[in-house]
Structure formats: structure tokens, C-alpha cells
Amino acid sequence: MLVRSPLASYYFNASNTNLRVCFQDVTGDIKQSVFDGQAWFPSPRGVVGKADLNNGLAITGWNSGNEVRELSAPKVS
């Protein structure tokens, strides 16, 4: 995780409590950590985006977490 990484999160309650937290690593990849009501683990989705370092992040989820949109300023080549 990038030091002072921007964070974004969303919560939903389907069959149990679910919390998703997005953060940025040192290469600019945007990743997710997942809390399922009992433990934290890396998201099975892996890298969910890429952006220039220390840009803002936003995330929203709906349909019991089946629909998700992560937003950030795109990586500039």
C-alpha cells in the first residue's frame, strides 16, 4: 500500500456484512480489501484500476455488491 494512499470504501448487507476498501499501491494500481463480517482478505478481483499516484478515489456499489463502480483520475502515459 502506498504511504498516505487515498482510500475509498462502500458497505452492503446481503447474506452478511460486507465492506470493501480501495487503496493504491506504489505502482499506481488500485486494489481492494474485503471484510466479510469476520475477517479481512484481498479482493479476488485483484487490480481494479490504475491511476497516477495520490489521486482521489471514489467507489460505489449496488445490487447487493454485484454492481460496482470505482472512479479515479486515469493513469497519464
Question: pLDDT tens digits for 15-61?
Answer: 777 888 989 889 988 888 989 888 999 988 888 888 888 878 888 77
Which grid cell is 20? Answer: 470493501
d(CA 73, CA 35): 26
In a domain, 31, yes or no: yes
In a domain, 3, yes or no: no
In a domain, 19, yes or no: yes
Across 1-77, where does the E strand assignment appear?
8-13, 17-24, 29-35, 40-50, 57-62, 67-72
Segments forming the whole domain that contains residue 50:
8-72
In a domain, 2, yes or no: no
Q: How many domains does the chain have?
A: 1
pLDDT digits (tens, 9 = 90+) for 3-16: 778 888 888 776 77
DSSP 74: P
pTM for the predicted model, two decimal places: 0.74
Q: Let me know the angle formed at the C-alpha of 5 by 44 and 76, rounded to the nearest 5 degrees.
A: 85
Q: What is the pLDDT of residue 77?
A: 58
Q: What is the pLDDT of residue 3?
A: 77
